[in-house]
């Protein structure tokens, strides 16, 4: 929440800079998307688990959906500034009648985003943008045994979130617009902890959670003025 508050202050501070460039239009937008992930250390661990539980198999975590929200301002027809929150989802599970093991690996991404478009009033325009912020793990690993209950390990850690993307802006009405986007995200958590203890790989390196990959999504913008 502290990160989101700081971004909101920055957005408020920057928006008056272009006050003379045209009418500023403030908006709110729910968002959803689909993303690919690297998660190499996680999937290497899943490979080891699959050897141990064969013939059962746990799927690699290579992608996931997201949901979130953004608040922003169209500074003029050519530029938009916003702060965004995205909940990145990803999970995998293996089990049978005797028990199960589940990896739930959501992460929270907080970013400040800027988009530059063709400087013209039109129903649909193309733009390019960049984003920077923070990604924080909200994952957990759940081990369950039939008749014995379950044990949950909570994962923590954070890292930078850097993105580049191309987006569209389809103005359905004066109050409503749809903005799809396609891009690439670098979002790697280089030190992961479980219950505040740093996790290490078998070779002694730090266990990472890497949410880097292709990112897609769409925002439904509701203009407030």
pTM of the predicted model, to two decimals? 0.87
* C-alpha distances out from residue 211 to 140, 186, 218, Å: 15, 7, 19
Question: How many other C-beta atoms can be found within 10 angstroms of the C-beta atom of residue 51?
Answer: 7
- The domain ranges of the chain are 2-89+105-136+157-185+213-223
Identify whether the C-beta of residue 220 lies closer than 8 Å to the C-beta of residue 172.
no
CATH code for residues 2-89+105-136+157-185+213-223 = 2.40.160.20
DSSP tag of 157: -
Q: Which residues contact 56 (CB under 8 A, 6 or more apart)?
A: 50, 94, 95, 96
Task: Give the residue among 160, 174, 106, 166 at the shortest CA–CA distance from 137.
Answer: 106
- Spell out the per-residue pLDDT of the chain, length 225, in tens: 455 455 544 454 444 444 444 579 999 999 999 999 999 999 999 999 999 999 999 999 999 999 999 999 999 888 999 999 999 999 999 999 899 999 999 999 999 999 998 776 678 899 999 999 999 999 999 999 988 889 999 999 999 999 999 999 998 998 999 999 999 999 999 999 999 999 999 999 999 999 999 999 999 999 998
């Amino acid at each position: 929440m502290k990160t989101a508050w700081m971004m909101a202050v920055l957005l408020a501070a920057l928006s008056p800079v272009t006050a003379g460039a045209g009418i500023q239009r403030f908006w709110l937008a729910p968002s959803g998307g689909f993303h690919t992930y690297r998660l190499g250390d996680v999937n290497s661990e899943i490979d080891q688990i699959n050897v141990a539980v064969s013939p059962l198999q746990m799927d690699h975590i290579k992608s996931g959906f997201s949901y979130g929200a953004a608040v922003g301002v169209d500074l003029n027809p050519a530029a938009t500034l916003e702060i965004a929150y995205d909940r990145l989802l990803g999970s995998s599970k293996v089990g049978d009648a005797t028990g199960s093991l589940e990896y739930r690996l959501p992460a929270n991404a907080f970013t400040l985003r800027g988009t530059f478009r063709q400087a013209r009033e039109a129903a649909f325009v193309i733009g390019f943008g960049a984003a920077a912020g923070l990604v924080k793990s909200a994952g957990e690993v759940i081990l369950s045994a039939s008749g014995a209950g379950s044990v949950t390990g909570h994962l923590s850690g954070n890292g930078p979130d850097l993105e580049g993307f191309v987006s569209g802006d389809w103005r359905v009405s004066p109050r409503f617009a749809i903005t799809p986007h396609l891009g690439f995200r670098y979002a790697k958590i280089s030190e992961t902890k479980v219950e505040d203890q740093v996790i290490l790989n078998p070779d002694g390196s730090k266990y990472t959670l890497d949410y880097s990959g292709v990112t897609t999504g769409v925002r439904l913008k509701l203009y407030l003025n």
